[in-house]
Structure 1
Amino acid sequence: MKNIHEQIAQNLKNIRKIRGYSYDQLANVTGVSKGMLSQIEKGESSPSVNTLWKIANGLQVSFSSLVEKTEPNVSVVRLKDKTAVTENNELFQVYPYFPFDTSKKFEIYYIEILPGCVHTSARHHGSVEEYVLVCDGEFTISLHGEEYLLKKGESMRFQADGSHTYANHTEITTRFYLLIYYS
């Protein structure tokens, strides 16, 4: 695990390279000397909070983007590597693909509903939207006294402020992605 100074060095170097800045240009926009910026990037200097704020403000990035570990640009999720969370005698299988991230405000799941499954989801607290994208099969979503039949290639968005039911009344497994957005 990297210490905070190594993380700052890596993040600053990445931002500078993405922007195509020389040390002179970076010094110009941040008000921090190019010598100090070079030392920070090499991990030879421990910048003060004030210096980090000057850099963040000059680059117009968040303070945390300088100090936090960055996510990789590419993240591959394979179903075979995931373990399902199951319910209804394993007729309802949920695979967490991308867990909730406070900076992104959403999470994504891959879900399989086996034939005969009826799953009721409790209402979500706060302002929460669900986005459903059907990959295979078909199923019914019951929401606020209405029923919506969704088939392969179809999708639906709704406020999840009340309980809602997913039901597979067919003889084949239904597969869909669920994105939950927390506004």
Structure 2
Amino acid sequence: MEDIQAVIARNLAKLRKSRGLSLDQTAELTGVSKAMLAQIEKGKSNPTVSTLWKIANGLQVSFSLFMKEEKPVIKTINISELDSIDDNDGKYRVYPFFPYHPEKKFEIYIVTLEPGCVHGEKTHLGEEYILIKEGQLTIQLQGEIYVLGSGDAMQFPSGIPHNYSNLTKEQASFFLLMHYPESDEI
């Protein structure tokens, strides 16, 4: 992960230059001195939160824009490296591959259900996107029963009461993407 001071420096310089602003013009818009802006852009000064807010407000951008990293983060994960979150006496296991991040507004899990597992009815924020990896999953949703097998997918608002069941004699597993389109608060 790149040093935050370097990230802020690069993002401020890039934003200022993309708008064709001089340091003097940026200082006038933000109320932050030309010298301080130059020090930040050179990575020689670590700005305070107050200073970043002044710059963000003056340039009419989000505060978080200055912390945004340019490089794509490449991440590999193996399920054997993860601790599961269990329910139903270990018959329902959730492996958090990519936990929630407010900027991305989604999280991705692999869920496994042992034979005979019925994971009770629930509702929560967001939307669910389910892609069956293996086995067969029965979903009860608004009084309707949906039976999905390997390669099938389903999407629904999570605020609708729903439950998951594995009514077979084989383990079922699925990818679960939870999307939170309207709220950064979970």
TM-score range, shorter chain: 0.7 to 0.9
Q: Which amino acid aligns with 1:31?
A: T
TM-score (ref. length: structure 2): 0.73
Kindly tell me: are residues 29 and 140 of structure 1, through their superposed partners in 2, closer, same or farther at Cα, counting changes over 3 Å? farther
SS at match of 2:83: coil
- Could you report, residue by residue, the CA deviation over 1:8-33 in whole angstroms, capped at 9, with x for unpaired residues? x32233436877x59x9563796248
One-letter amino acid of the counterpart of residue 142, structure 1: Q
Contact 2:9/2:43, CA 8 A, preserved across alignment:
no
Aligned residues of 1:31 and 1:54 also touching (Cα < 8 A) = no
Seq. identity, %: 42
Q: Cα distance, 1:59 vs. partner?
A: 6.7
1:27 to 17, 22, 25: 22
Query: Does structure 1 conserve the Cα–Cα contact (< 8 Å) formed by 2:11 and 2:68?
Result: no
CA distance 1:135–1:61, change in 2 (3 Å): farther
Partner-residue secondary structure (3-state), 2:170 = coil
Aligned to 2:89, the other structure's residue is in SS state coil
Could you say which residue in structure 1 is the equivalent of 2:72?
73
Give, in whole Å, the separation in 1 of the partners of 2:85 and 2:156: 23
Amino acid corresponding to residue 170 of structure 1 in structure 2:
T
- The residue aligned with 1:94 is 94
1:24-67 deviation line (CA, Å, top 9, x unaligned): 9563796248764441134433547676356446876421232x
Counterpart-to-counterpart distance in 1, 2:166 and 2:71: 37
| 3-state SS in 2 of match to 1:89 | helix
| 1:112 alignment partner in structure 2 | 112
Matches within 5 A, 1:18-167: 21=17, 25=20, 27=22, 31-32=26-27, 36-45=36-45, 47=47, 52-53=52-53, 55-56=55-56, 61-66=61-66, 68=67, 73-74=72-73, 75-124=75-124, 127-167=125-165
CA-CA distance at 1:104 after TM superposition: 2.8
Paired with 1:71 and 1:142, the residues of 2 have a C-alpha distance of 42
- Secondary structure of the equivalent of 1:40? helix
Q: Which runs of 5+ in 2 are unaligned?
A: 28-32
| Structure 1: 5+ residue stretches without partners | none
TM-score by length of 1: 0.74
